[in-house]
């Protein structure tokens, strides 16, 4: 088995605050990563950290781009167990889109439509949640995501493990271990009480 990672974030940018206020959701962005260190994170979002209007396919990381600029980004990180075949399908689709990223655009119309509970999908165009859902579907990852998908919907996925919650800049393997140990301790105490 291999793992992939789903990262929900809220940067605190003007656009993310507007999205959060409109949707009442905790998180306004979602990415997918192929490595535990989150150095290979991918999504559709702002290409330039200083320009929210120029969006498309982005390679993200905890120490680069938008997340480097917005140091107080809140995050929730999940891991998903996948087969080698599923991992390769996901990886290959991300590589394919990356190699043709100039043919893709940010689906701002689709993102706005979500606020009105409508779906507008444009060819070669994604907003972040559409992209991550597409990648999971290409990898044949079972999910219960709705057709009109928002980042917050990824919190309801079944069978995924929460690895970390907190500031994205503080994410690292040691924090994951601490978080898992704390969860085990809490679960153990609950069993003692029961």
> Per-residue confidence of the chain (194 residues) as pLDDT tens digits?
899 999 999 987 777 777 777 778 889 899 999 999 998 899 998 887 766 667 899 999 888 777 878 888 999 999 999 999 999 999 999 999 999 999 999 998 888 888 788 989 899 999 999 999 999 999 999 888 999 999 999 998 888 899 999 999 888 766 666 767 777 777 777 665 54
**Per-residue model confidence (pLDDT) at position 191:** 60
Distance (Å, whole) CA 189 – CA 47: 46
How far is the C-alpha of 128 from the C-alpha of 185, rounded, in Å? 35
**Structural domain count, the chain:** 1
What CATH number is given to the structural domain containing 98? Answer: 3.90.1720
Handedness of CA 94, 100, 101, 105 (dihedral sign): negative
List, as one string, the DSSP characters of the chain.
Answer: -EEEEEEEEE---HHHHHHHHHH--S--EEEEESSTTS-SEEEEEEEETTEEEEEEEEEEBTTBHHHHH-TT-EEEEEEEEE-HHHHHHHHHHHHHHHHTGGG-EE-HHHHHHHTTT-----TTEE-HHHHHHHHHHHTT------SS--GGGGGG-SSPEEEEEEEGGG--HHHHHHHHHHHHHHHHHHHHH-
Q: Using CA atoms, how far apart are residues 36 and 171, in angstroms rounded to an integer?
A: 10
pLDDT attached to residue 21: 77
Please identify which residue in the block is written with the tokens 């990262």: 7
Note down the domain range covering 77: 2-193
Residue 173 buriedness (CB in 10 A; 0-12 / 13-18 / 19+): exposed
């Amino acid at each position: 088995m291999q793992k992939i990672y789903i990262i929900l974030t809220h940067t605190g940018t003007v656009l993310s605050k507007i999205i959060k206020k409109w949707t009442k959701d905790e998180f306004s962005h979602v990415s997918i990563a192929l490595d535990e260190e989150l150095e290979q994170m991918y999504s559709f979002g702002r290409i330039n950290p200083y320009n929210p209007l120029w969006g498309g396919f982005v390679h993200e990381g905890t120490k680069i781009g938008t997340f480097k600029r917005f140091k107080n980004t809140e995050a929730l990180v999940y891991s998903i167990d996948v087969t080698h075949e599923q991992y390769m399908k996901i990886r290959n689709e991300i590589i394919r889109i990356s190699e043709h990223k100039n043919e893709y655009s940010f689906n701002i119309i689709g993102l706005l439509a979500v606020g009105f509970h409508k779906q507008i999908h444009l060819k070669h165009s994604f907003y972040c949640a559409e992209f991550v859902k597409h990648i999971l579907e290409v990898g044949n990852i079972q999910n219960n995501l709705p057709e009109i998908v928002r980042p917050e919907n990824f919190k309801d996925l079944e069978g995924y493990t929460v690895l970390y919650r907190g500031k994205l800049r503080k994410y690292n393997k040691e924090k994951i271990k601490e978080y898992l140990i704390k969860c085990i301790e809490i679960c153990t105490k609950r069993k003692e009480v029961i």
